[in-house]
Amino acid sequence: MPDVAQRRAALARLEGMVHCHADRMQRALMEDFGNRARPETVLAEILPLLDAIAYARARVGRWMRPRRVPVGLRFQPGRAWVEIRPAGCVGIVSPWNYPFLLSLQPVVDALAAGNRIMLKPSELAPACAGLLAIMLGDEFDRAEIAVTPGDATVGRAFCALEFDHLLFTGSTGVGRAVMQEAAARLVPVTLELGGKSPALLCPDSVADAAARRRTAHSLAVGKFFNAGQTCLAPDFVLVPRAHLDATAHALAEAAARLYPTLAGNADYTAQISERHLDRLAGLVDDAERRGLPILRHPEDRADRRAEQRAQRRLPPTVVVLPDLGEATRSASVMQEEIFGPVLPVLPYDTLDEALTFLDARPVPLGLYCYTDDPAQQRRVLDRTRSGGVTVNGTLLHCAQPGLPFGGFGQSGTGAYHGHAGFLRFSHRRAVYRPGRFSGFTWMTPPHGAMTRRALAVMLGGSRARPPATRP
């Protein structure tokens, strides 16, 4: 079992690797995406990794310490404690949208927990997968960390291995298949899947023009970051009906301020593939066929679309839906996770109606509540379920290294990051050591009068308690 010095040394090597190869990571992302905004790479891939490494290095010694637990009276004298042991070999299957962060952040937690690691990066970002293999291969022995690039066939074979723990980040459909494959071998899994993360705007957050502009800017930053290709991105917005049109226009205007141009704009990330671009265009086309109001970017014009398509740029788009009824629920933009720069906006009449609507949907990975009223915040937190929450913002709860990150229900199972990740990739082993003269060792066959008297005393203590009643 690696001691604390070895674990800190491994994390230090990982930190040095990230610093050394930051420029190569950006070039690999540009090659895979066509364009990936450099500030987004630094903000969403480099800095969170360095924060996670520093957080784990500073605390891993404390996390590793055995924890004493009380020993029951019948087992005195004796000692009991919990030892934190490495799980063993951890398998990590990472996605394409943040190929370095979502590959290396679980590596941080697994190294802190003292494990060996096998990593299968996404084939949809081949330049990043190749660079991961080179970087980790240069810094770590293959017996410590082994990278296995390859297509979906390799991925299926990878998930069929008998890991001690398997972490998968990706779509819900593939996550089901991964869990089935792991179940056949009784491999414990952590699934980070996603879903349709809602943003709930309470009335005070859009009550006047200044509040709407502030809220719209915050939502647009989170939604259109990485051109919407974020599992935690707001997937739809619930707005008080009286403010529906004004808020929808404020969102479209915020997107235009963030990205005044599209084609050739280094700040606006491209879609990962033509197939992904076509799927998103199909969602907008379906909304148009249904007659839903669509607020388009000023450059979303026929004379610019060929250039934008050649660069795999999809303009930020706001779709306005009429209500929370069945017709709205059947629209394609409400049927699947969008994973792109298309944002549906829906009205609600009362906060209870909005909360009931959210409660009836699958549990999302993230929830965003906008209000300055503490009572409203508490009401939303108490009435909803989600993997995590950011209040008056988006995405940022996942950037806190001290908070667990993970889904719930259909958005995933299990959590990692920081101490939660250390425990996720560890085994908590129970240890008990009896004293030389333990009373329990005398209660062995043949059972005589002493045993019966001792048991009567123990049961007498139980009879003194009032009987349990069913609720």
Residue type, 213: R
| Mean per-residue pLDDT over the chain, rounded | 93
Rounded distance, CA 198 to CA 241, Å? 16
User: Which position has the higher pLDDT, 455 or 55?
Assistant: 55
- Contact between 96 and 126 under an 8 Å Cβ cutoff? The reply is no
> What 3-state DSSP class applies to 197?
strand
> What is the pTM assigned to this prediction?
0.91
Residue type, 146: A
Q: Does residue 253 carry a catalytic annotation?
A: no
> b/e string for 9-35 if b means 16 or more Cβ within 10 A?
ebbebbbebbeebbeebbebbbebbbb
- Contact between 364 and 235 under an 8 Å Cβ cutoff? The reply is yes
Residue 392's nearest CA partner among 370, 362, 363 is 370
Average pLDDT of 125-148?
96
Rounded distance, CA 5 to CA 136, Å? 20
- Contact between 154 and 120 under an 8 Å Cβ cutoff? The reply is yes
Rounded distance, CA 107 to CA 101, Å? 10
What domains lie within the chain, and their CATH numbers?
4-193+416-428 (3.40.605.10), 197-403 (3.40.309.10)
Task: Considering only the C-alpha atoms of the chain, give the largest distance between any 2 of them, rounded to a whole number of Å.
Answer: 98
For the chain, give the percent of residues with pLDDT over 70: 97
- Contact between 154 and 183 under an 8 Å Cβ cutoff? The reply is no
CA 420 to chain centroid, in Å, comes to 13
User: Tens digits of per-residue pLDDT, 317-358?
Assistant: 999 999 888 877 789 999 989 999 999 999 999 999 999 999
Exactly one of 45, 181, 192, 253 is catalytic; name it.
192
433, containing H or E segment = strand 426-434
Q: Does residue 202 carry a catalytic annotation?
A: no
Exactly one of 128, 231, 369, 398 is catalytic; name it.
231
Rounded distance, CA 248 to CA 307, Å? 27
